[in-house]
A and B are shown apart, each in its own frame.
Chain A
């Protein structure tokens, strides 16, 4: 039984011109310049809006927060701090002692743990559900358009509204407990609140995944599936060998960005727990910690943001490297594989 590969499936017509002189990595004047011009607007927009504040934040993170001058009762500028802000966070140090419970410093590693846990769980569920939703929406049936629209509703409602909605639903005398007949503290108990946050987030973002996967599915023509069916491939085999490889590019981008998003999540856990993070700070995320720290001193918050950035960067790095996520196939790769 032969199963068609992704590359063969795409190229079915006359083979692309193979004999065109292959440009190696050398820059030719025309392409290099044109390339830079086309890429420049993106880089400028990012540098101005994101690059500048990031640089600013990093510079500030090397400064000490203002301290109170006991004589005047006024705050005065702290001096240069070097990496002390960073060390204080990572070592959970407050002054000369380990940060006692009730300080923000004591929440660093719990927040890291929560953030990672939340990310892994929500992304895993969203990918699975997203794949399933997309495969269903891909089929032909009456009212397909309406179903697609209704799937997108969770995602289309502003997060500010859905967070309030879920807070309302999950409140101890709210509709969720009423329907279940329980009195569970969904916005408070350690695992209940984690469940609540995961449920609310998955509800909202699965459509995003489903949409991207669906777009990827649209590219695969039916004939490929038919051919595979004729060859005797089961539904699972068709899924593994045709569907997955072909939606892989869109799917990987979706997973990557979704992961980056959840690692930075703020409003949902914040609103669901009124900022408290639930029992034992069960859902306090790094971004929530940053916001709380900003009130105490921006420089230290900037250090925490930079640490968060580094953590996320490492995650993305591992993602790209080890999952073999060639998130971008360049033209050459495509041409190469198309034989």
Chain B
């Protein structure tokens, strides 16, 4: 008798399951064609607006478009949480997210799942003024799906009081480690903990040496090559001989910054955000004593990993025309200038990098431009989560000394094969 209430509950649950499942898992052509001309209020979703640049920007838009107001929804500051939040909402076909900010590495994944409106035809955005790698990062299958809004490239921070001329190649930099030892400092550090930052650093090492991780099509592994072994091998060797301190295996961006600011590190690979903090924070011991340079390369700047965020229109949006216009607004020169001046965010418009007053305010701008121009996007693949896991996990084991570099690269290739053929 008491089993009946339970049975009917189960039946209800079963019915619900069927209904919800019928809603489908990914976007399709129908979704793409819905509501392309509709206008109205929209929501813009982005990770935490650290420097308070977006709110004023949105306010300005709202004043000029009272019938198409933008609500700004902030996510957390962590890339993984932002990613999972977007996935949740897309899978639920939520019309509440109209314009979303995507990390450059998510473009292929989201586009392949049919969640993003292709930015072509009526939705086209003018990208002619933008730095080429940023546009590349927003393209999947030769279509632009996400418009570049902010960029980022790796910089080499160095102690100019100890090293007047920054190293241009990796070997040169390793040769300068004697200076570090003499001053009882660590020589070089980047981001080597087992998280996305490791993929960034490893990709840089591999790409600088001439290797690549996946092929153009995004699904065929290409990492098993002597160049990749050479690239990864440089990091492995540096860990072995102590040029990279053992504890750097726990470093994310903040730990490296802490070490550099405390005066314990000679060379640091990090993002532009460190500049302002190292120059002005109370506890920084390196104020005025450091400079920035492009990452060391083979003979010329090294391949930095491209960072940054792009804006995209969700296929489930109810007001796509407004969404598209807002995306254009974010990529306009006025907004880009605002991002830079107010938030120290690297713009995507090329001309801004050579404007005198801006360069004065942000001395690292020219270096950053070089870095971005030579940037290689991290593997552009719809399987990005699995690919980054394969890279991180194997590279990490090699850096810990548990596996030689060639074994790690070979395992990485196997793991990539498994990841992209699932």
Contact = CB atoms under 8 A, between A and B. Distances in A.
A60 B91 CA distance: 14
A154 interface: no
Instruction: Give the bracket for the number of chain A residues in contact with chain B.
Output: 35 or more
A297 B386 CA distance: 10
B193 A274 contact: yes
Interface in A168-214: 171-173, 183, 185, 187-188
B128 to A, nearest CB: 25
Nearest to B193: A274
Given A95-B418, A172-B255, A275-B194, A296 B385 contact: yes
B114 A74 contact: yes
Interface stretch (B42-50, B245-253, B293-301, B368-376): B245-253
Interface in B376-422: 382-383, 385-386, 389-394, 396-397, 400, 402, 411-412, 414-416, 418-422
B165 interface: no
B411 A101 contact: yes
Given A43-B6, A68-B219, A56 B17 contact: yes
B5 A77 contact: no
A130 interface: no
Contacts of B174: none
B39 interface: no
A295 B87 contact: yes
Contact of B26 (A47, A56, A75, A279): A75
Nearest to A184: B247
Given A47-B13, A73-B140, A172-B247, A277 B418 contact: no
Nearest to A187: B250
Interface in A88-118: 94-95, 97, 99-105
A65 B5 CA distance: 34
A100 B415 contact: yes
Contacts of B21: 56, 59-60
Interface string A22-42: 000001000010001000100
Given A56-B17, A102-B394, A275-B194, A188 B415 contact: no
Nearest to A72: B141
B259 interface: yes
Interface string A136-170: 00000000000000000000000000000000000
Interface in A309-334: none
B60 to A, nearest CB: 34
Nearest to B192: A188
Contact of A67 (B5, B259, B422): B422
Contacts of A47: 6, 9-10, 13
B276 interface: no
A99 B418 contact: yes
A125 interface: no
Interface in A245-295: 273-280, 292, 294-295
Contacts of B87: 295
Best-buried of B195, B391, B393, B421 by chain A (most CB within 10 Å): B393
Contacts of A94: 418, 422
Interface string B127-165: 000000000000011000000000000000000000000
Nearest to B26: A75
B356 interface: no
A295 B84 CA distance: 7
Interface in B252-276: 252, 255, 258-259, 262
Contacts of A173: 247, 255, 258-259, 262
Interface in B196-253: 218-219, 246-247, 249-250, 252
Contacts of B13: 47, 51-52, 55-56
B255 A105 contact: no
Contact of B247 (A74, A183, A277, A297): A183
B69 interface: no
Contacts of A76: 26
A229 to B, nearest CB: 49
A40 B415 contact: no
Contacts of A56: 13, 16-17, 20-21
Contacts of A97: 414, 418
B2 interface: yes
Contacts of A276: 193-195, 392, 396
A101 B393 CA distance: 7
B290 to A, nearest CB: 19
A59 B17 contact: yes
Nearest to B87: A295
B14 A275 contact: no
Contacts of A65: 422
Contact of B422 (A172, A274, A278, A297): A297
Contacts of B414: 97, 100, 102
Nearest to A35: B2
B130 to A, nearest CB: 23
B5 A73 contact: no
Best-buried of B218, B250, B393 by chain A (most CB within 10 Å): B250
A40 B8 CA distance: 13
Given A32-B1, A68-B219, A102 B412 contact: yes
Contacts of A171: 250, 255
Contact of B389 (A55, A59, A103): A103
B96 to A, nearest CB: 20
Given A94-B418, A95-B418, A102 B393 contact: yes
Interface of B: 1-2, 5-6, 9-10, 13-14, 16-17, 20-21, 25-26, 80, 83-84, 87, 91, 111-114, 140-141, 193-195, 218-219, 246-247, 249-250, 252, 255, 258-259, 262, 382-383, 385-386, 389-394, 396-397, 400, 402, 411-412, 414-416, 418-422
7 contacts: A67-B422, A68-B219, A74-B26, A94-B422, A185-B249, A275-B195, A292-B389
Q: Across chains A and B, which 5 residue pairs bring their CB atoms closest together, nearest first?
A: A276-B194, A102-B415, A100-B414, A295-B385, A94-B418
